[in-house]
Amino acid sequence: QVQLVESGGGLVQAGASLRLSCKASGRTLGPYVMAWFRQAPGKERESVAVITQSAGSIYYTDSVKGRFTISRDNARNTVYLQMNSLKPEDTAVYYCAGRLSVGVSVNPQLYNYWGQGTQVTVSS
């Protein structure tokens, strides 16, 4: 069983940067595909970025390409989401998720392990 804990959210102005962290415990993160999802009020949960086990494949949703960077440090059992040039439409609760499988997936139902979420609010 993997426990995931996110941190790094907050309230920032448009154009600012934040770095989210997802620390895993219970198991090593190495075998897991890891992803960041987000959910804004009244909207469905959407995939933001996905990174495979050795970072061989990385996916970004179109709206964050060029602004967000997902990375992982398997030795530290941590996944990161660097968010630059934040926009008000990035406001959401951001969740870290993991699945013990191969390949990129943007379907939240395929992820077995979830963190509790961290709030990101971007003011205009």
- 8 Å CB contact between 96 and 6: yes
Q: pLDDT digits over 28-56, tens only? A: 999 999 999 999 999 999 999 999 998 88
How far is residue 38 from each of residues 33, 35, 75, measured CA to CA in Å?
17, 10, 25
For position 1, what pLDDT does the model report?
A: 84
19-23, 27-31, 65-69: lowest mean pLDDT where?
A: 27-31
Q: pLDDT digits over 84-104, tens only? A: 999 999 999 999 999 999 899
